[in-house]
Amino acid sequence: MVGVLVVTAPDTVRTILVVRLSAIGDIVLTTPVLAELHKALPQARIDYCTKAPFVPLVASNPAVASVVTPESLAAGSAYDLVLDLQNNRRSRAFVQKLRAGKVTRYHKRNWKKLLLVQFKINVSAGYYSVVERYGEALDGLVPKITAPCALYPSLEERAFAAEALGADGPVLAVCFGANHFTKRYPLERFARIIELVTSQTPARVLLLGGKEDEPEAAKLIAMLPEAARSRVLSLAGKATLMQSAALLSGVDAVLTNDTGLMHIASAFGKKLFVIFGSSVKEFGFMPWGVEYELFETSGLKCRPCSHIGRAACPKGHFRCMTEIGPERIANRIVETLNEKSS
């Protein structure tokens, strides 16, 4: 049932469990919901359930009393309200084991994604963020989601970031990875952007990513001329999730694929330069509440080819990425960084 149809009385809600098991970006996009719930129901205890690798994203959130995993929360645990913001087979099975006064769920509208991917039929009237769809599950407790995304690195994590970044001029973070090939802008094009930006601005470049991105970071650096290479610091695979968040809080702009780090950067209000290949904004996963510029190849009949990404371009040409010129992206970044420096 969509929550807005049957409204829960706020004074009956004392305990809430929010369930979002994965992944990084999706969890970050639930943080506006947490803020609004805490504001609307300050008397309520809000717990959060996610998979163990993602616990740090919400463990320090002031709206959250406790973070649990599906394995650590005992079957039969009681909550007045359970918000299933994952709504897949695993989350539904997990929620069934709880004693919930009421359960409301995020409606994914997968049929709309299917129409868009398989038949290129867009039935969405304008842009509708997944954050707003999460809001539908709040059962009328919050009339509208307006809070930004928010993350809370510790003092130690911020100190790590401050030491790594130093204070010598502007910093451009480059989040060059993604889980799926069709979401990854080619490395040689990232290299070209970095070369142009470092030759036309005083900016330094920070490469960020997970452990799986570390070899790709080395390849990317090897593609750069020496003058550009000396201005690049790679912490891909070397920083924890929340250390990466702290690092992103200290940069001046972010160049990113469609990846979880994009949403982490949005939690700190950073100007984002976003590259979309197989992704499209109609899926609802654009950065929430921040300024961004989107670079994409419009008008391709094969796009989107998937709502999550693919391991290879099904057509073999990868035009959704290769037709996005690195010079165009670099020019906008240069203009932005030079404006900040002036």
Asked if pLDDT for residue 12 goes beyond 90, the answer is: no
**How buried is 164 (Cβ within 10 angstroms: 0-12 exposed, 13-18 middle, 19+ buried)?**
middle
Asked if pLDDT for residue 69 goes beyond 60, the answer is: yes
Q: At 112, is the secondary structure helix, strand, or coil?
A: helix
In DSSP notation, 266-302 reads HTTT-EEEEE-SS--GGGS-SPSSS-EEEE--TT-TT
pLDDT on residue 126:
83
Asked if pLDDT for residue 45 goes beyond 90, the answer is: yes
pLDDT on residue 257:
99
Q: At 129, is the secondary structure helix, strand, or coil?
A: coil
Domains along the chain with CATH numbers: 3-136 (3.40.50.2000), 155-341 (3.40.50.2000)
Across 152-158, average pLDDT: 99
pLDDT on residue 7:
56
Asked if pLDDT for residue 64 goes beyond 70, the answer is: yes
Spatial contact of 67 and 48, defined as CB atoms under 8 Å apart:
yes
- The proportion of the chain whose per-residue pLDDT surpasses 90, expressed as a percent, equals 90
pLDDT in tens, 88-132: 999 999 999 999 999 999 998 888 888 999 999 998 878 999 999
Asked if pLDDT for residue 6 goes beyond 60, the answer is: no
> Which are the contacts of 91, defined by CB distance < 8 A and separation ≥ 6?
19, 21, 84
Alpha helical stretches, state H, 87-240: 89-96, 110-119, 130-136, 155-165, 187-200, 214-222, 226-229
Confidence band for 306, pLDDT divided at 50, 70 and 90: very high
Summary mean pLDDT of the chain: 95
pLDDT on residue 3:
42
Asked if pLDDT for residue 320 goes beyond 50, the answer is: yes
pLDDT on residue 2:
40
pLDDT in tens, 205-256: 999 999 999 999 999 999 999 999 999 999 999 999 999 999 999 999 999 9
pLDDT on residue 219:
99
pLDDT on residue 109:
84
Whole-Å CA distances, 258 to 33, 119, 187, 266, 342: 22, 23, 15, 12, 30
Asked if pLDDT for residue 57 goes beyond 90, the answer is: yes
Q: Which two tokens stand for residue 313?
A: 């371009």
Q: Which two tokens stand for residue 323?
A: 């037709």
Spatial contact of 177 and 144, defined as CB atoms under 8 Å apart:
no
Lowest mean pLDDT among 10-19, 83-92, 236-245: 10-19
| Identity of residue 278 | S
Cβ atoms within 10 Å of 113's Cβ, excluding its own: 19
In DSSP notation, 158-198 reads HHHHHHHH-SSS-EEEEE---SSGGG---HHHHHHHHHHHH
Angle between helices 155-165 and 241-249 (to 10 degrees): 60
Q: Indicate yes or no: pTM above 0.75.
A: yes
CA gap 254, 173 in Å, rounded: 5
Asked if pLDDT for residue 1 goes beyond 70, the answer is: no
Residues in the chain: 342
Across 276-293, average pLDDT: 97
| Identity of residue 264 | I
